[in-house]
Structure formats: C-alpha cells, structure tokens
Structure 1
C-alpha cells in the first residue's frame, strides 16, 4: 500500500491575518532573482532552512517550495494547477473533487453520481473526444443485468485475469467463464446443463430487410436466439431498417436445421426467380444466401404456420404419452406389495397343467 500523496495546498497560506511559519534566517538576493525569473516572489523563509514561502505572480496564491527546487527547476503553483484541473474536469463533463490517491490522478464526480479517481491524461483524451469515462459501478450493474436476462448471475472478475471475461453462475449452479460480448449476444451454452445447440431449444425465423436501393427482402433461417442473430450477426449498421417479423419454436436445434433445409428447398422449387443474388445485398446483410424477394412473404408465412401447427400437434401427443407413462409409474409405485396377491397373479398367468402341479394332492 502506497503512502498518501501530500496535499501542498494545505501548506499554502493566503493573504489574511495568518503568518507563515518560518525560521529566522536571511533571504539571499540570489534566491529572489531565481523566484522572479520563474514567476514567483519570496515572502518569507520556510518552516526549516531548506524551504521558502513563495507567492505566485499569476494568481497571488502562496506555496512552500524547496530552495533546491527553486534553483534547479520550475516550481508549480498548486493553486494554478488546481484551477487547470477544474477547467479540465469541466470540459471533460465531470466535477473536480480534489487530488487523487496517486500522482497525476484526480478525484472526480461522474455524471452518474459515482466518485472515482481518474488520471489527468485520460481526462485530456475525454476532453478531445477521443474516449469516454466508464464508471466501474455502473459497469458492474450493467453486466449483472445482462447476466440476469439470460439466466446467469455475475460472480466476479475472470479467474484468469482477462478484462474481456467474467465469472458467472448459471441458474443450474454451474460456474463458467464467459466473454462479455457473448453474454450480450447469447452465443454460448452452459457447460453444466446444456448438451449443445443441436439438443437445445431453437427457433425458425423470418426477417425483413429494406436494402439501400429501397427493395425489400426477407430472410428465413433458424437460431437459438433470433433477436441476437439479427442485431449482432446479420445487420451492418445499428440504425439499419431490419426487423424480426416471425418466429416458430422448435424443440431442438437439430430438428430446426432439418426443417429449415426443407423449407429452403420448397421455396427454391416454387419461386426460383424470388431468390436474390448476393450482389443485391452484399455489404448490407452478412450472409451469402437465403434472402428472397418480399413478394413471397405471405407464402413463407403460410408455410411457417403449417410447420407451427404440426409442431404443436406433435408436442401435444408427446405430452399425452409422457403423462400416460407418469400415471402408469405412479400406479405401480402405489400398488401394495402382497405376496399372496403376487402368487395368485402368477398362477393366473400359468397354463392349467402347471396350476394342477401347484395345487395340493387329493387326500388318499
């Protein structure tokens, strides 16, 4: 732990009724010449024989300075320095609170209301518009909110020390390193409970794009997270005219992939002229194919409706079979374990000849 940086403003005095603490020693004319050349005036000796009390000719503020520093370097007026820092902070959009915990650092109040230490060089770049100040508290809150939206909770920093990763806990209890960008887009799976995208729930989707030429196009595909697919993978500009207009839930990614392939085959066979050439959307939609003219959107919607109805019917049949198996197991678990009943059941299953052998012999 480093020692706190002394605040030299505490040692300065203003022109009031207070007098600076000083030793009773003479002030050499040579020293006064050094001070005048560097924009200061010596007003008294310092608290010991190594220091002087100086007054800044620019602002009128006073300070304590070593004689050696006055002779060999350019003293810095703490009052002028603080004024420059205040102006710098104001230009950078923050409020100056005082000196920081390290040299060249300032304690500032951010627009969000949180306090932090920031380096002068960083604030200079913020003033020029080259970067922005990131609040660590707000960042933590944002990362936690992004994690909760996907069923995770933020634990802390990356155990391997990467600034681009954090350690998270899934709702199933599994802990995992996840890249910050992947937590936003959802392009990852839980290493504890997920069996991979082929076994996870997926979606068929239809999206509409308005190209720069004004032409409308639709895209059909499948994705575990269609919203993330659109916003983080397909569009090239944040304000691009693109919308997700239809989704159909599919039990697994493997099944969604098979349905999507069959859907594209059907569309190409029925409307080969509606398939857009890549040159029409290159640089606007980050795919190589699978874009169609918007005039067949109604037919694509009808096909997705039929697929959705078929999937729902199959899901209901599966649920009925599951409930039937569950009731059968429940009945078996609640059946009384009676040896006599078991014997009679066994006897009823045997042929008559076998039951005769099991019956007692007639009395002689």
Structure 2
C-alpha cells in the first residue's frame, strides 16, 4: 500500500495586491515541500499539467526532473500527462529520461484531461477528444513494450522499424487516470493498465460499481490479478485544529473551485458543501490527523486500493500551511494508516 501527495502547483492569490504569486516563487516552494515529503517517507508525489494563469506547472516532466535531484526515495509521477494533446514519443522520451535520472522512480499517469486549454496550444481539435486519447495511448504502450516499433495512426507521422532513445532500464510504469466514465474504466481494464480514480466530489462510495467493474474486466481479459493496481486521488488537507480549516483554508479552496466553476456553469461553492465534504461520507479528506487517517483507511478497505494520494494544494494555500500539512500527513496520518492496514 502506497500513500502519496499530489499537487497542481496552484498559485496563491494575494487579495490585497489583486494578483497571483509568481510561478518562480511557487516552484521554489514546491521543491522545498516535496523534499520534506521525501524525508518523511511519503511514497509518491503526483504533479498535474495545466496551461492556465492560476497554476504554475505546464511541464510536469521538467519539474519532476528538478525534484529528482533533491529527493532519494519518493516516486515521481505526472498526474496527469494530458496525453490527448501530447506527442507520445516525446512523452516516452521525457519520462524514460526522468526514470534514468531518478534511479527508477518515474511514472507517467496519462489522462484525457478535464481542462482543455492544451488542445489549441498544441494544435489539436477538441472534436477528436476521444480518438486522440485512444490512439496516443495505444502508441505509448507499444513504445513501453517494444524496442523496435512500426506503427501507423491517424493523428501523427507513422513509425517504421524505429527505436526511440534513450531506452529505459526497466519498463516505464504507465497508469491511466479516470474521472468516472465507464468507457475509461473499461479501457484501462482491457489493457491491464493500473488505474487511478479522481474522487473530488459527492461520496466515494458512489465509485464502488466502477471499481468493481474494473476488477471484473481486468480478470476477464486474463491479466494477472496479483499485479492489479488501483488508486484514488482526492483533495486533502491536514491541520492540528479542524476549526482552523473553515477560517484559514476554506477561502483559498472556495476561490479556486469558483474560478473553475464560473467557466463550467457551477453554482458558487458554499461553506455547507465544504463541511459536507469533510463528513465521513464526503470526498474531502480534511481535518485533524486522526480524522483524515480514519477516512483514508475506510476508503482503502472499501475499494481494495494499492495507492491513495492526498491532493493538498487546491487554491494555493500559503507555503507555511502546506509545509505543516505535509508534516502532519507524513508523521501522523501515514504511520497511522499503515499500522491499521498491517493489523488487518
């Protein structure tokens, strides 16, 4: 069982100045934060890709490569690589290089992307959203499995008896991230690829049918059950006193949810939603360490997970609070969860 942290590199918004912090400052803070996570024995770090003014990371592979030089043990993964708008050959080269630099700690988590800004930037048509991902994932997995590849598709130049360099010393670990569509779950199961579910709203229990569907289809297609990997990635924040969450963290969290929500037609995010998400049935893993640990344990046991990731920087909380959240997660939550699972 692996317990990780995830970030998108959210920029802190300064209300007094009316602007976001600089990307340079946020990236510098992130290096310090992930270095701490590694020192505390947290298993993995997952970093998202975005092309928006409120995030600092458009190239996870570059940031993860920088992190590989200041960490020793923590796995370094994208979360996600928007494969639909990327070149799978370049992505394979990037993450193979990262894997070599980090002594085998790199992972590529591929997704279709819930944000679409990357499509026009890289010259892709949103009308091809599903076809692009299907074709590019197929190519990426062939690159992972074959040294010499001949391949032809619709959206990029064909490869004819081509070898892509550098070559990995071990097969590149590729996951598929899903938001909850049965088609995406079925694809991952059919291919025998590890799956990670983004559960950021409603009740985690609602995902039970999808996770059971993945397990059934994974076995149906003849994949080795002993190698099956299932993860969940959810919003989290650990504090010493849960009363501080509504006063100190809720404004950051709500502001970010509302920035996204205005573009997607959501209603304004309320404090009632926030508190409901922190309830035992909700999808927010926030509060004091015991409270968060109990909720993670329940989720792991409910689904039979092999990985759980705490996404901790939604809304760009300040550096001091993020460092404290990582410290509490690494010193209190992670040991408590692993101890409970070991007993079981």
Give the structure-1-normalised TM-score.
Answer: 0.21
Answer 1 or 2: which has greater helix percent: 2
Q: Which has the larger radius of gyration?
A: 1
Larger relative contact order (C-alpha < 8 A, sep ≥ 6)?
A: 2
